[in-house]
Amino acid sequence: MTEQPPEGGRSRQLPVFHCPYCGDEELTPYEGESAGGWRCGACLRAFSVRLIATGVQQG
Ligand SMILES: [Zn+2]
């Protein structure tokens, strides 16, 4: 798997190492309607990962 430098640098993909549906590691970048997605080569699902929070504690 070859890594390409992110173009623009704004919409950088979050690294995903396992498919959240079947747990397979055969993930390839998916460039469909929603950029920054991933496609699982095992279950053929395409999904996107979005960061909704960081590890900061409340209070
Ligand atoms: Zn999968």
Ligand 1: centre distance to CA 21 (Å): 5
Does any domain span residue 23?
A: yes
Ligand 1: centre distance to CA 56 (Å): 30
pTM: 0.60
Ligand 1: centre distance to CA 51 (Å): 20
The pLDDT tens digits for 27-57 are: 998 887 666 789 999 999 999 888 888 887 7
Contact call for residues 46 and 36 (beta carbons, < 8 A): no
| Both tokens assigned to 2 | 């070859």
Ligand 1: centre distance to CA 19 (Å): 5
Contact call for residues 28 and 39 (beta carbons, < 8 A): yes
pLDDT value for 42: 97
Does any domain span residue 3?
A: no
Does any domain span residue 28?
A: yes
Domain count for the chain, please give it: 1
- 19: which residues sit within 8 A by CB, 6+ positions away? 25, 26, 27, 38, 40, 42, 43, 45, 47
- Domain of 29? 13-49
